[in-house]
A and B are shown apart, each in its own frame.
Chain A
Amino acid sequence: MSAPTTKSVTEFMDDPINFFGQSYTQMHSMSRAELEDLQRHAMGIRFQQHRQSIEMVRKLADRLGVTELNEFNDVVPLMFSHTAFKSYPSALIDKKRFDLMTKWLDKLTSYDISNVDTQGCNSIDDWIDRLDEQTPLQVITSSGTTGTISILPKDKRGAVEGMVLWKICLFQTFGQEPTDKELNPSVDVIWPNFASGKLGHLRIAQMIKQGFTGGDESKFHPLYPGSVETDLMFLASKMRAAATRGELDRLEIDPALAARKDEFIAMQMRQPQELDAFFVKITEKLRGKKVFMTSAYPQMYEISKAGLQRGVRNVFAKDSAVLTGGGMKGVALPDNFMDVIMEFLGVNKIQQGYGFSESSTFHWACEEGRYHVMPWVIPFVLNPDTSEPLPRTGRQTGRAAVYDILLRAHWGGVISGDEVTIDWDQRCPCGRTSVAFEKDIIRYSEKQGVEDDRITCAATQEVHNEAIDFMKGVDL
């Protein structure tokens, strides 16, 4: 086999959507040998770019003496754990040193953001706005349930691409080339969460709104119209950290945030009415319409249960796109939860994706339940303790890691907290040629029964209410 041409590698790594003709089928039909060859070349090139442009990658590579990547496993020692994105001291946020936060983030991204003006910046949200305005970045954050918030330097270009990819995966059928209608679907978006916010998944709300409705507010239907303040989440996160240390008495609430206490409490009080209004809206205005809806299973179940309790069932068009994510273990839902969800939504199927915030996209589950890895993502199964790569043959269970070639704004090598299985020799009966994660995926932290700080929507409302409840109890 001949080596891939420079042009084909460049297009593969920089514009994979067009490289594969916007076709989900093509993305999963390339022969493994041919794809791996492309991946190896692209990985080597991207590493050289990032070694130049991302200080933390360069420092790590220099320390380990890595100057080039040739084989897949060469990248493993250079992979970041999720902690890399929360390695800043949280005191910087307390002290409003957003200049130093910018300096920290600058070392994690390929863009030069050293000139960002943080003068007068007095909250995380404010800082994120500045980054939005002044840089190509569109950062996302975690909910910070363990006391520190992760900050991922994603970029705007990646956000746009991400939504195009979602549509490709959601609306196309494997084995068939896309139609115009599939490439340009018209849907209303159901977003069973707060309408906006700077936090991880709430940030996605804006991306979805833009990507699926072109920014048409009338087609975007959130459960709660309000926005979640990252600073409020940060307070909740600090509370948890302070409680762990036995220092809740020393927790200081920022005056700017404290001043908005009544506003937050009012927002919390409105939630029951807003929930009612949401159901009225979907039954009166959206019944039978083709929608796109996404959330984790527990939220989808809660909303479905609340709907059925109000006598609302079979609301949406059968060919609506409903997406949910990740593994299922560790979530306590009744056995019939899927029936409840299906009865409420009235759709033909629910699609599942697996991925993590650090990577560029989800990997969609096929009819067999396997999560087929997108072609620009190189998956790894690592020894869960030592992070040494396990062989890329046979059936391997261990810690998931990926090198994501498509990531331009930040380093693409990431080690996850998930236990996964890949059967490297498997040729999936679904027809996709790609490597796949097997169905059962579990967080190591769930396995060990410890809390972690996954970027998820699961805890938002609880965490948000926890912070407001805390403020209620403190004289401000």
Chain B
Amino acid sequence: MSAAYTVPLFLRGLVVTDDLVSFGTRSGAVQFQAPDMAKYVDRLPLKSPGEMSDLYRVSFDEILDVLEAVGEALDFDSNTHLQEAYEASLVANVLPPEMMRNSYQVLRPLFTRDHVLEVADTQVGLDYLNGWVPHRLSDGRELRVRAFGSRVLHIPAGNGGLVSAVTILRSVITRCDTIIKAPSNDPLTAIAIARTLADVAPGHPITKHMVVGYWKGGDLAVEEVLYQPQHIEKIIAWGGLASVKHVTRYIQPGLELIALDPKRSATIIGAEAFTDEPTMREVAKRAAIDIGVANQEGCANARVIYTLSGTDDAGLAKANKLGEMIYSELVELPPFISTPPRYPNRDLFERLESSRMTEDFYRVFGGEQREGAIVVSQFDEPVDYAPMLSGRVANIVPVDDIDQVTRAVNAYTQTIGIYPESLKHQLRETLPLFGAQRLTSLGYACSVAIAMPQDAIEPIRRMCKWIVDEECDPEVVIPLWRLGQQVKVRQ
């Protein structure tokens, strides 16, 4: 089998394509190649943390300049690195071409001056990034706090290039020394951005603190050497349970895990949605978007949709009607947003067919061509295969009582899309107790902003090391040694 593409090693400005070994893709149909990381692992980390000092000679304005230039160069039509990444993603990723192309077209605005400033200022604070922020404590000591970058290893998710771009953005604004393990299902986006960085800022400290490469997750020859506190201070791990669990074995004092772990999202639709036909249509359109974006591959996508329609005959009729409307909106979505899945989950569609035959408990709209489907439960429980929902298959669960919607939320919940706003307001003190991390207006679940917390943490602040410089004037802050003398005198 010949290799479909090569994932080079981007090593602090250098692009390495030697010592290639082959890897299988998730679909198993094709192979790709990448440098044998066991041979390079010793060269990935910094020789000494002191080498990060050059990052502190770069002003934030210069960082903005560099990122802006990167953004401008990330023009899909002219950037050959991005085009290569796109070609590889067609083989490596489950998403269809229109959607992959779109995922590259949305990268540019991330790097605009205004956006970078917004992210840096709201998610860390420019003052902290650029200097020592003074603060006087009540005991009289003068604090100066600064956010330092750390030596980080990123294990980003591969469902779309956005994650790789955000990863780089976060690392650069915090002045981190960055090693990125490229995901097998989005193998070249991070490399493409890094190479674009090297094009616009050759030899720049930001470029010299960037490493991107591929090795198979769990490769001990690489990970046991690299995942050590003397090389890395923080690991930012996205994605699957297996990969996050796998990383935990390396966590020890001095090496911290920032887990952006596997999540699922849910949807809650209030009784107001059924007010009249136009409202229902609007709600259906919004719900369809939350289900359909990027073919429901993401953690933010809607899957189980609780509706406060009631479970009596009239309530079920409303829920079924909404299901039918959502389905028709779903299949009408434009192909750059949503398409029938390229690799539908056979097991899921088998379960769906069985539900279709079980009319006492379920109504199924669509799905016969595996194009996506809406299953409406005819009682107040989700389908037993709810954890499998993907490829544009969602489950509407009618409930009678608002207390029942907390069942939508558990330790694995990320986003809850809610309609209308008043219901969100009503639920926002309760849902977080059960695990919800982000409450958003129905239709915006997958419209994710960067300048806000993620997964109930502030990952960018966590990527920083928060260093304190204290100044204590013995005349103001009572010194312990004098306290000792006073005790002595009294004796």
- Chain A: residues with CB nearer than 8 A to chain B? 56, 59-60, 80-84, 86-91, 100, 103-104, 107, 147-148, 241, 244-247, 250, 384-385
Does the CB pair A90–B353 fall under 8 Å? no
Asked if B357 and A84 sit within 8 Å, CB to CB, the answer is: yes
**B219 is an interface residue with CB less than 8 A from chain A:** no
A241 touches B384 (CB 8 A): yes
Nearest CB to that of A250 among chain B residues?
A: B410
For the complex, give the distance between the alpha carbons of A133 and B172 in Å. 72
With most chain B CB atoms within 10 A of its CB, the pick from A104, A107, A246 is: A246
Residues of B within 8 A of A245 (CB): 386-387, 410, 412
Residues of the A chain whose Cβ atoms lie less than 8 Å from the Cβ of B361: 88-89, 104
Query: Which of B357, B360, B377 is in CB contact (< 8 Å) with A103?
Result: B360
The complex places the Cα of A435 from the Cα of B179 at a distance, in Å, of 57
Q: Contact partner of B379 among A91, A148, A246, CB < 8 A?
A: A91
Q: B51 at interface (Cβ–Cβ under 8 A)?
A: no
Residues of B within 8 A of A385 (CB): 346
A77 to chain B, nearest CB (A): 11
Q: Is the CB of B381 within 8 A of A246?
A: no
Q: Are A84 and B354 in contact (CB under 8 A)?
A: yes
Give 7 A-B pairs besides A83-B354, A86-B384 with Cβ atoms closer than 8 angstroms: A59-B357, A80-B354, A81-B350, A90-B384, A147-B384, A148-B385, A246-B435
A59→B379 CA distance, assembly (Å)? 22
Pairwise interchain contact A87-B379, C-beta atoms closer than 8 A: no
Identify the 7 closest CB pairs spanning chains A and B, nearest first.
A87-B354, A246-B411, A246-B412, A81-B350, A83-B354, A91-B381, A87-B358
Q: Which residues of A contact B410 (CB under 8 A)?
A: 245-247, 250
Q: Which residue of B lies closest to A241 (CB)?
A: B384
* Alpha-carbon separation in the docked complex, A242 to B457 (Å): 25
- Residues on B with beta carbons closer than 8 Å to the beta carbon of A100: 360
Cα A389 to Cα B381 in complex, Å, equals 36
B83 lies within 8 A of chain A by Cβ: no
* B103 partner residues in chain A, CB cutoff 8 A: none
Decide if B351 is an interface residue (CB 8 Å cutoff). Answer: yes
Q: Does chain A have a CB within 8 A of B355?
A: yes
B357, A87: Cβ atoms closer than 8 Å: yes
* Contact B381 A86, beta carbon cutoff 8 Å: no
Residues on A with beta carbons closer than 8 Å to the beta carbon of B350: 81-83
| Chain A minimum-CB-distance residue to B377 | A89
Majority-rule SS of B interface residues: loop
Q: Which residues of A contact B435 (CB under 8 A)?
A: 246
Tell me if A148 and B354 are in contact (CB < 8 A).
Answer: no
Contacts of B355 in A (CB 8 A): 87
Q: Are B384 and A56 interface neighbours, CB within 8 A?
A: no
A86→B360 contact, CB < 8 A = no
Quick one: given A83-B350, A89-B381, A148-B384, are A60 and B357 in contact (CB under 8 Å)?
yes
Most chain B CB atoms below 10 A, which of A84, A87, A100, A246: A87
* Chain B residues bordering chain A, tally (CB within 8 A): 24
B-side contacts of A244, CB under 8 Å: 387
Question: Whole-angstrom distance from the CB of A136 to the nearest CB of chain B?
Answer: 23
- Complex CA gap A246/B261 in Å reads 12
Q: Which of B346, B347, B358, B384 sits near A104, CB closer than 8 Å?
A: B358
* Residues of B346-397 whose CB lies within 8 A of A: 346-347, 350-351, 353-355, 357-361, 377, 379, 381, 383-387
Over the window 316-353 of chain B, the binary record of Cβ atoms lying under 8 Å from chain A Cβ atoms (1 yes, 0 no) is 00000000000000000000000000000011001101
Closest B residue to A448 by beta carbon equals B28
Give A257 to B373 CA distance when docked, in angstroms.
38
Interface centre among B346, B357, B360 (most CB of A within 10 A): B357
Name the distance in Å between A313's Cβ and chain B's nearest Cβ: 41
A140 → chain B, closest Cβ, in Å?
18
- Cα A80 to Cα B351 with chains together (Å): 10
Chain B nearest CB from A220 CB (Å) reads 36
Q: How far is the CA of A69 from the CA of B354 in the complex (A)?
A: 22
Residues on A with C-beta less than 8 A from B360 are 100, 103-104
Q: How far is the CB of B393 from chain A (nearest CB, A)?
A: 14
Q: How far is the CA of A148 from the CA of B358 in the complex (A)?
A: 15
Cα–Cα, bound, A247→B435 (Å): 11
Which B residues lie within 8 Å of A104 (CB)?
358, 360-361
Contacts of B357 in A (CB 8 A): 56, 59-60, 84, 87, 107
B385 contacts across to A, CB distance below 8 A: 148
Distance from B377 Cβ to chain A, minimum over Cβ atoms (Å)? 8
The contact of A83 among B351, B381, B411, by CB within 8 Å, is B351
Is B379 a contact of A89 with CB atoms below 8 Å? yes
A370 to chain B, nearest CB (A): 27
- In the complex the two chains form, what is the Cα distance from A81 to B385 in whole Å? 15
User: Across the two chains, which residue of chain A brings its CB closest to B378?
Assistant: A89
Q: Write out the residue numbers on chain B whose beta carbons fall within 8 Å of the beta carbon of A91.
A: 379, 381
Contacting pair B353 A81 (CB below 8 A): yes
Using Cβ atoms and an 8 Å threshold, which residues of chain B touch A241? 384, 387
Q: Which residues of B contact A147 (CB under 8 A)?
A: 384
Q: Please indicate the chain B residues that have their CB under 8 angstroms from the CB of A83 in the complex.
A: 347, 350-351, 353-354
The answer to whether A247 touches B381 (Cβ under 8 A) is no
Give complex CA distance A459, B383 in Å: 25
What's the Cα separation between A84 and B354 when bound, in Å?
5
Q: A88–B411 contact, CB under 8 A?
A: no
CB-contacts of B213-246 with A (<8 A): none
**In the complex, which residues of chain A have a beta carbon less than 8 angstroms from the beta carbon of B346?**
384-385
Q: Are the C-beta atoms of B358 and A88 separated by less than 8 Å? A: yes
Give the CA-CA distance A188 to B161 in the complex, in Å: 65
A82 to B346, CA, bound (A): 12
27 example contacts (A-B, Cβ-Cβ < 8 A) are as follows A56-B357, A59-B357, A59-B359, A81-B350, A81-B354, A83-B350, A83-B351, A83-B354, A84-B357, A86-B384, A88-B358, A88-B361, A89-B377, A90-B384, A91-B381, A104-B358, A104-B361, A107-B357, A148-B384, A241-B387, A244-B387, A246-B411, A246-B435, A247-B410, A247-B411, A250-B410, A385-B346
